[in-house]
Amino acid sequence: MNAPLQQTAQFDFALPEYKFVPISTVYEQSTEVQWLIEDYIPKQSVGMLYGPSGVGKSHLALDMAVKIANGIPWCDQDTEKGVVLIMAGEGQSGLKRRLQSIEKHNGITIDQNNLFVSERAVGVDTDKGFIELVAAIEALEKTPDLIIVDTLSRHLMSSSENSNEDMAAVINRLEQLKQRYNTSILIVHHTGKNAKNGSRGASSIRANIDFSFVLTPFNFAGLSIADLECEKQKDASDQIPSTSFKVITVELDDQYSKGRWVRGACIQRVKCQCDSQEKIYEGLALDTFMQVKSEWQQNFVEAFAREIVDSTYQPDTIKKIFREQVKLLVQNGYIEEVAKNKFEMLE
- How high is the pLDDT of residue 11? 44
Does the structure show a pLDDT above 60 at 311?
no
Q: Of 210, 237, 268, which residue is a domain's last? A: 268
Residues 38, 181, single domain; the answer is yes
The larger pLDDT score, comparing residue 195 to residue 288, is at 288
Q: What is the mean pLDDT of residues 312-324?
A: 79
Residues 41, 185, single domain; the answer is yes
Residues 197, 308, single domain; the answer is no
Does the structure show a pLDDT above 60 at 310?
no
Using the 8-state DSSP alphabet, how is residue 118 labeled? -
Residues 192, 337, single domain; the answer is no
What residues pair up with 270 in beta bridges, in sequence order?
244
CATH of the domain at 311: 1.10.10
Does the structure show a pLDDT above 90 at 117?
yes
Residues 144, 199, single domain; the answer is yes
State which of 79-83, 206-210, 275-279, 325-329 shows the largest mean pLDDT. Answer: 79-83
Cα–Cα distance for residue pair 50/52, rounded to 1 Å: 7
Q: What is the mean pLDDT of residues 187-215?
A: 83
Single-letter code of the amino acid located at 337: E
Single-letter code of the amino acid located at 97: R
Domain count across the chain: 2
Inside any domain, residue 215: yes
Q: What is the b/e burial string over 104-137, where b = at least 16 CB atoms within 10 angstroms of the residue's CB?
A: ebbeeebbeebbbbbeebbbbbbbebbbbbbeeb
- How high is the pLDDT of residue 5? 44
Does the structure show a pLDDT above 60 at 68?
yes
Cα–Cα distance for residue pair 240/237, rounded to 1 Å: 7
Inside any domain, residue 237: yes
Q: Helix or strand or coil: residue 264?
A: strand
CATH of the domain at 237: 3.40.50.300
CA distances from 76 to 45, 73, 315 (A): 21, 5, 25
Q: What is the dihedral of CA 60, 230, 150, 170, to 10 degrees?
A: 170
Q: In percent, how much of the chain has pLDDT > 70?
A: 86
Radius of gyration of the chain (CA): 24
Strand ranges, E, within 99-195: 115-117, 146-150, 184-190
pLDDT, tens digit, 9 for 90 and up, residues 203-235: 888 888 999 999 988 765 556 788 899 999 998
What residues pair up with 51 in beta bridges, in sequence order?
190
Using the 8-state DSSP alphabet, how is residue 337 labeled? E
178 within 8 A of 184, measured Cβ to Cβ: yes
Burial class (CB in 10 A: 0-12, 13-18, 19+), 304: buried
Residues 58, 109, single domain; the answer is yes
- How high is the pLDDT of residue 113? 95
Half-sphere exposure of 13 (CA within 13 A, CB side): 23
- How high is the pLDDT of residue 30? 77
Inside any domain, residue 18: no
Residues 250, 339, single domain; the answer is no
Residues 202, 320, single domain; the answer is no
Which of 248, 303, 313 is CA-nearest to residue 281? Answer: 303
Q: What is the mean pLDDT of residues 8-17?
A: 55
Cα–Cα distance for residue pair 319/300, rounded to 1 Å: 8
Inside any domain, residue 70: yes
- How high is the pLDDT of residue 177? 93
Cα–Cα distance for residue pair 215/247, rounded to 1 Å: 12
Residues 258, 217, single domain; the answer is yes
Residue 138 domain boundaries: 33-268
Inside any domain, residue 102: yes
